[in-house]
Amino acid sequence: MRFFYLSLFVSCFFITSCQKKSPLEQLLSCEKTGTITLDKLSTDFNKSFSIETSKHWKTNLYYDDFQSSIMTADTTQALTKAFIFEAAMYSGALEFTADFNANILANIDKKEQTVLQENYFKWQEKPAYYSLIKGLKNKHPYQELTIYINNSETAYIKAQIQVYGSENIQERLCNALSLFDTLKIK
């Protein structure tokens, strides 16, 4: 009988530990449904961060005096069946204050978008903030998840996921979060 309970406990431990969700997956109630193949490491121009992408996607790098970014999208699918992902490291200070929050919400309101969710959280022990909005862009419905991470006193990360159309929104956002979860700061 002891062996049975010990086996049951070990099985439950391994099942729950293997299915641990990231903080954003928890906040957005993601279920592990679809999977995407991430088989290519993409590093930004300044070599300050990297993400895993797919060798079949279109990936662009951009940099200037204030930022270095990676933008990627699955161009093998229609825009309404995929997502656009961009991550950028910005030079400058970022403080999560009441003014920061007010500015974010004012910009969302100015663009006639609707806030679905917003919250502060911890990402790899760093303070972070996300907002999930919906709106119209070029007369197409879309949702956008924006994530700010305070990396240091002189740099921060901003990641954005855009999902167009009205089908499988949650699944595509959650698939994009699996890409976000590969973000490594150097």
On whether residue 66 sits in a domain, the answer given is yes
Contact of 87 with 156, CB cutoff 8 Å: no
On whether residue 96 sits in a domain, the answer given is yes
Q: Which of 10-14, 46-50, 125-129, 166-170 has the lowest mean pLDDT?
A: 10-14
Token representation of residue 127: 């303070």
Higher pLDDT, 6 or 77: 77
On whether residue 10 sits in a domain, the answer given is no
CA separation (Å) from 181 to 27, 45, 61, 147? 14, 20, 19, 12
- List pLDDT tens digits, range 147-180: 999 999 999 999 999 999 999 999 999 999 989 9
Q: What is the identity of the amino acid at 41?
A: L
CA distance 120 to 26: 13
Q: What are phi and psi of 99, to 5 degrees?
A: -65, -40
pLDDT of residue 78: 92
Contact of 84 with 73, CB cutoff 8 Å: yes
Containing domain of residue 179, as a range?
A: 21-185
The total of structural domains in the chain comes to 1
Entry pTM = 0.85
Contact of 23 with 121, CB cutoff 8 Å: yes
pLDDT of 128 above 90: yes
Q: What's the CATH code of the domain at 161?
A: 3.40.1000.10
Contact of 40 with 53, CB cutoff 8 Å: yes
- List pLDDT tens digits, range 42-97: 999 999 999 999 999 999 999 999 999 999 999 989 999 999 999 999 999 999 99
pLDDT of residue 29: 82
